[in-house]
Amino acid sequence: MLEYELLTTGRLSQALEYLDKLEGVKLLAGGTDILVDIKKKSGRLPEFDYLLDISNIDALKFIRQKNDFIELGPLVTHTMIINNRLIKDNFPVIVEAAKTIGSNQIRNRGTIGGNICNASPAADLLPPLLAYRAEVVLESRDSKRVLPLSEFIKGPYRTDLKTNEILTAIQVPNLKVNYFKDNFKDKDRFKENNDIKDNKETNNKPSNSTNIKDDNFKDNFSNNFNDNFDDHFKDYKLNNHLNLKYFSSFQKIGRRRAVTIARLSLALVVGIDAEKIIQDVRVVPGAATPYPRSFITVEEALKGRAVEKIDPEALGRLAAEEMVSITGERWSTPYKKPAIATLVKRGLMIVEKEVAADEED
């Protein structure tokens, strides 16, 4: 029998105080993961002396629009996600994934924060959040840090959460801002280029910019080249040049139709320009690898391609190869290899259809 003291508070500051003062504190949000682990005496559960119930902290239940991102509190439940217009309109893959989680009861209690911090390889919100390049805000009594979700997830059931921290927000950047960050964020590369000040050709061109045709955009880069990164970023945001259109899909397969943990899932987000060239793409399978991550080889193979010229079947095979290159051959490989290939193929075909339908509108 596990013995621990149950603590509860409605205030974030007091929760952080508890974490600061006490050793061996475990957090409880909706309880749909941790209570099962406690009951099963799961080996994954570290020893703890206190269970701190944070579910009454109203300050952690919000969905709000900020300048360049939408911010969700960690206590937002799956049901709240499904019913939220802001999320539906901006990040449909998150909604589609939330709809597949457990049963009504689980969706009403389970939270986005719990899904992330439990860090199961099969956690359904991780692939979409990674695909949208979400960031997590982690707070302790004396500090606050923001980390890309891809860096926060350290392994299966492992995160970078410190014992005195609480996940206090999840920030999902507007897709176009994301695109910019992905392609031009590399500040060191910026600095390197900056050193060669006389060579405009080199200075102007962030290394991934081959498909960006907007001269104004390049001008902004060259004119303001000695400004800091944030100023470049601001220029981009003001002018909003890239005008990509996004298409997406989420698929999940499990052992049965309802209340099922993913045996495999796939979040796919594709941004195309006016000429139907894929400029931005995120391919993130769930339960395919020890922890969800972008399938970079597939993403690279898609970037710069015209949508109608892609070969979904071949890209599916490429995804299967990428999976095996990460996991090696396992007992599940004979099942997962063709399954991931099919999910990628099907996801790309959905996107192709959506693009064609959009053209007709």
Ligand X SMILES: Cc1cc2nc3c(=O)[nH]c(=O)nc-3n(C[C@H](O)[C@H](O)[C@H](O)COP(=O)(O)OP(=O)(O)OC[C@H]3O[C@@H](n4cnc5c(N)ncnc54)[C@H](O)[C@@H]3O)c2cc1C
The smaller minimum CB distance to ligand X, of residues 95 and 101, is found at 101
Instruction: Decide if residue 326 touches ligand X (CB under 6 A).
Output: no
Q: Are 101 and 140 in contact (CB under 8 A)?
A: no
Instruction: Decide if residue 74 touches ligand X (CB under 6 A).
Output: yes
Stretch that binds ligand X, among 29-37, 204-212, 229-237, 287-295 (CB under 6 A): 29-37
Question: What is the CA 175 to chain-centroid distance, rounded?
Answer: 12
Stretch that binds ligand X, among 80-88, 104-112, 127-135, 242-250 (CB under 6 A): 104-112
> Smallest distance from the beta carbon of 155 to ligand X, in angstroms?
14
Interface residue with ligand X among 25, 161, 281, 284 (CB under 6 A) is 161
Treating both helix axes as pointing N-terminal to C-terminal, what angle do 187-195 and 229-239 enclose, rounded to 10 degrees? 110
Could you say which residues in the range 248-287 bind ligand X, by CB under 6 A?
259, 261
Interface residue with ligand X among 16, 19, 25, 28 (CB under 6 A) is 28
Interface residue with ligand X among 30, 127, 312, 347 (CB under 6 A) is 30
Largest CA distance in the chain: 71
The smaller minimum CB distance to ligand X, of residues 100 and 203, is found at 100
133-149 as b/e, with b when 16 or more CB fall inside 10 Å?
Answer: bbbbbbbbeeeeeebeb
Instruction: Decide if residue 90 touches ligand X (CB under 6 A).
Output: no
The smaller minimum CB distance to ligand X, of residues 28 and 288, is found at 28
The smaller minimum CB distance to ligand X, of residues 125 and 318, is found at 125
Q: Which two tokens stand for residue 35?
A: 């209570």
> Smallest distance from the beta carbon of 157 to ligand X, in angstroms?
9
Compute the 3-state secondary structure of the chain and give helix, strand, coil in percent, each to the nearest 5: 45, 20, 35
Among 282, 251, 256, 246, which residue's Cα sits nearest to residue 266?
251
Q: Are 26 and 34 in contact (CB under 8 A)?
A: yes
Instruction: Decide if residue 110 touches ligand X (CB under 6 A).
Output: yes
How many residues bind ligand X (CB under 6 A)? The answer is 29
Residue number of the CB atom closest to ligand X: 114
> Smallest distance from the beta carbon of 247 to ligand X, in angstroms?
24
> Smallest distance from the beta carbon of 175 to ligand X, in angstroms?
23
> Smallest distance from the beta carbon of 253 to ligand X, in angstroms?
12
Stretch that binds ligand X, among 11-19, 115-123, 234-242, 353-361 (CB under 6 A): 115-123
Instruction: Decide if residue 63 touches ligand X (CB under 6 A).
Output: no
Instruction: Decide if residue 32 touches ligand X (CB under 6 A).
Output: yes
Q: Are 82 and 93 in contact (CB under 8 A)?
A: no
Contacts of 333 (CB under 8 A, 6+ apart): 324, 327
CA distances from 2 to 7, 34, 36, 46 (A): 15, 13, 13, 11
Instruction: Decide if residue 127 touches ligand X (CB under 6 A).
Output: no
Interface residue with ligand X among 90, 111, 193, 248 (CB under 6 A) is 111
Q: Where are the alpha helices (DSSP H) in 7-134?
A: 12-21, 34-40, 78-82, 85-90, 92-99, 104-109, 112-118, 126-131
Instruction: Decide if residue 134 touches ligand X (CB under 6 A).
Output: no
Instruction: Decide if residue 34 touches ligand X (CB under 6 A).
Output: yes
DSSP letter assigned to residue 315:
H
Q: Are 62 and 76 in contact (CB under 8 A)?
A: yes
Contacts of 224 (CB under 8 A, 6+ apart): 231, 232, 235
The smaller minimum CB distance to ligand X, of residues 141 and 181, is found at 141
* CA atoms of 303 and 280, how far apart (whole Å): 7
214-238 as b/e, with b when 16 or more CB fall inside 10 Å?
Answer: eeebbebbeeeeeeeeeebbebbee
The smaller minimum CB distance to ligand X, of residues 285 and 312, is found at 285
Task: Enumerate binding residues for ligand X (CB under 6 A).
Answer: 26-34, 36, 74, 101-102, 106, 109-111, 113-115, 117-118, 123-124, 161, 166-167, 259, 261
